[in-house]
Structure 1
Amino acid sequence: MNTLFVIIISLLCVIVNSSPTSNPGFTKINLRKVYTSEIDSELLSLLKRDPQGTAKLVNQNDRRYVGSVFVGGQNFTIIFDTGSANLWVPSVYCTDAACTGANMYDPAKSTTYKMLPAPNNFSVNFGDGSQIQGYKATDTVSLGGLSITQTIGVVTVFGSRSYSGGGVMGLRFTPDASFNTPTVIQTMKAQNILNKALISFRFSPNSPSYLTLGDVPNEYSNSISYNKVVDNSSWTIAMSDVQVDGSSLGLKSNALVDTGATIIYGDSDHVSTILGKISGASLSNNIWWIPCDTKTKISLVFNGVPYEIDPSNFIRSKNATTGLCRSGIQPQPAATAAAGLTWTLGDVFLTNVLAAFDFDNLQIGLAKPVAT
């Protein structure tokens, strides 16, 4: 892809600060919606690939759920990303025009900052030839009232990109080989900060959204169904079926549950079968468009339990010419599919469930939303 997309992030909601609970081994962090325009969703989850890898550019208009994290005493708006492993923030050492507007990490303002010995550099290359670069350091990282000393990526080069976000916290259960350091949750577990090495997310477009550390909320403890991961390095589980309006399509696959992704990407043939059931749906330039008023109910089935996606969640931006809306379920990009990943479940799916990630038992728990 030759076009470079400018990322413009507009905070369109009331900022809610992190609010830890009184239980020292469990904390709940409030998340807020951030609306994005012409956003390169893969940039906001850069570390899905090892830092010497190549990330596919995907442009997507959408909202994201973010929370506050302090690095060296400095507050950042962070995306919590189960598809990646490392924590990185843009720094004052970035002099590119692309860094304009970003909240910059300043090591000089931290009393706990420490640069790691050389070689300590990292980089991420993109399919359009652009690249971000930086170096590794350690600093105090605090979220929800919990503090640890953690290895971070200090970004110094954004190249020709513009970025106004605050950073990414990777929550995969295995570290990237190039960082070769424990992830945030592994560090918390080693320091006995959490009751359990378990986190959960509840994303909601209309009610409070949150991340929990240490356990699932009490109201979900009896309704959650767990699925063992089927990959030794990612939060990937077996999807046993897909239903459209309650009818089984007999589609089976593995699916990466990715809080750093916005929409759902699926096997191209599977997506064609699913969206082909929607009257008026059409495929143009490998993008699926659907009627904006569709009431079709699509459910993904895990461990025998169907999880219905509200139609309002997979109806995206409207095409003024055709009157159709972009579907929130799209074919997996060719480069990603070639790497063996068939399904990726982002916010379009996650807004319909509570999702728990169990680092001790390597399993993902899913539960239907509970009114609180």
Structure 2
Amino acid sequence: MNFKRFIAVFKARNIEFFRDKSSLGWNLFFPVLLLVGFSFIFSGEGRSAYKIGLLAGQEHSESQAQVTLKKIRFIDFIDYSDLELAKEKLSRHSLDLVVDYSTERYWVNEESSKSYLAEKIFLGQPLAQPSDFTRLQSSGQSIRYVDWVLPGILGMNMMFSCLFGVGYVIVRYRKNSVLKRLKATPLSAFEFVSAQLLSRLFIVMFMSTVVYSGCNLFFDFFMLGSYIDLFIIGALGAFCLISLGLLVASRSKSEELIGGLLNLTSWPMMMLSGVWFSLEGAPEALKIFANFMPLTHLVAGARAVITEGASLSDISFHINALLVMSSLFLLLGAYLFSWNTER
């Protein structure tokens, strides 16, 4: 490992990125536009799907009112035995309403438009009149939807920057025979790959920090945890995603092929990693599948730090998952890496 050669490649890659004004502008303004759009879209209107948590004493069977409520379409009903856990999820926008039929009480989140509409649906049932149930607000500090979706938007932006920023660059280098020329130098594959990885990690974390800090001046984001913990989980997630990008591009020879492969890799993560909506109440098989995606652990870990004040020990499952996947992706990427364009 020659440190001078490593620094030379690291510096050259950073200069190449920052001189590309279109790429720099996209990384800066795309997440900002998404945050602005979601802050207006979800400020007064909700979506068509709702999640209601149902509680009942262990000794009670389902009442007729509960059976009638569950017949409503387009609503997910999730059973809970722990009232405090259900109220916590309500305050964090994972649930829209919590109903306890055994004590005839229900809880709403005053900061959620979906909770308001779910309450109207619940009270509109013939067997659940307002006079029968006691209305309560969720415990804990409620957050805005823009605060809840923030980790997802930043994580998604980091995902695209990591995957496409590394994948396209390496394939372009390979296609233009840059890698073939570098192979003739004393530069080793480990030095080149590690320089690319750390360069992209620096760029992603720098851009994400700038975007978060700039938007925080306007939105005053909710934050319960430590900024250091948030930075650490963000860096681990970015490292894992960059490693995945290196693996996908390890043997690709054309930009068209790498574009399809990267889209195939990124779209499932964007839809199933909890970026836009909570996976609470989703089928167990879907949750297991989502746990094999790096973005799931990045978003879940960052969201726990921001909205729940979680420490690194509290999100150790997500940290360990990212470390294991990073190691696996790096080993496979190093084993499969090819310098040449010839097949």
TM-score range with shorter-chain normalisation? Answer: under 0.3
Q: Highest relative contact order (Cα 8 Å, sep 6+), 1 or 2?
A: 2
Larger Rg: 2
Structure with higher helix content: 2
Q: Which structure's residues are more often strand, by fraction? A: 1
Q: Which TM-score applies when normalising by structure 2?
A: 0.25
